[in-house]
Amino acid sequence: MASGDDSPIFEDDESPPYSLEKMTDLVAVWDVALSDGVHKIEFEHGTTSGKRVVYVDGKEEIRKEWMFKLVGKETFCVGAAKTKATINIDAISGFAYEYTLEINGKSLKKYMENRSKTTNTWVLHLDGEDFRVVLEKDTMDVWCNGKRMETAGEFVDDGTETHFSVGNHDCYIKAVSSGKRKEGIIHSLIVDDREIPEILE
């Protein structure tokens, strides 16, 4: 006589059975910090079926069920600015594979090193909410929690100020010359007349 104890494990669980398969084929996860936020890229590679699935922030971007060629690359876009990303699949030996992520044609490490030179990032807590503010130094675009902000620039005695609002808070990014060629221009975020420390991503 069959009792209820020999039922499949996932019967009482809300998740469908395919979630078990998903966990076995997940081979790589990357967190990529872009101006509009930090994006999670997940890659599934079925080394027997050749299946390839790319998720960006939990949303399926690419699905290829049967691929005879187990190595190669998958290219897709990430974030509001549609940044180009490529996952390279290379065989190391036998059935071992290496997965590398490129952003805009650069390795993730090189891209992030370059990004730290071209952007400033601040995280602040206002009215019980966290905000991530990013300045793109080349365009002077300001992003806050994934949205490009309306800004107004103004020249002041010792540099420039780029003004914008977060909720009902007055914010501006002050750009001042460091006086040293190696350091260049120093950017500071001022919110309600107090300076917010920069974070390094």
89 alpha-carbon distance from chain centroid: 20
> One fold for both 26-113 and 117-196?
yes
Question: Residue 120's pLDDT is what?
Answer: 95
Instruction: Please list the residues that pair with 64 across neighbouring strands.
Output: 52
Q: Using CA atoms, how far apart are residues 136 and 150, in angstroms rounded to an integer?
A: 14
Fold (topology level) of 26-113: Lipocalin (2.40.128)
Residue 18: the pLDDT is 41
DSSP label at residue 130: E
The single-letter code of the amino acid at 109 is: K
3-class DSSP state for residue 108? helix
DSSP-derived letter for residue 186 is E
Beta bridge partners of 123: 132
CATH number of 117-196: 2.40.128.180
Contact between 45 and 52 (Cβ < 8 Å)? yes
Looking at residue 93, what is its pLDDT? 80
Comparing 15-19, 73-77, 148-152, 158-162, which segment has the lowest mean pLDDT?
15-19
For 133-161, the pLDDT digits (tens) are: 999 998 999 999 999 999 999 999 889 99
What pTM value is reported for the model? 0.77
Span of 25-34, 42-51, 97-106, 147-156 with lowest mean pLDDT? 42-51
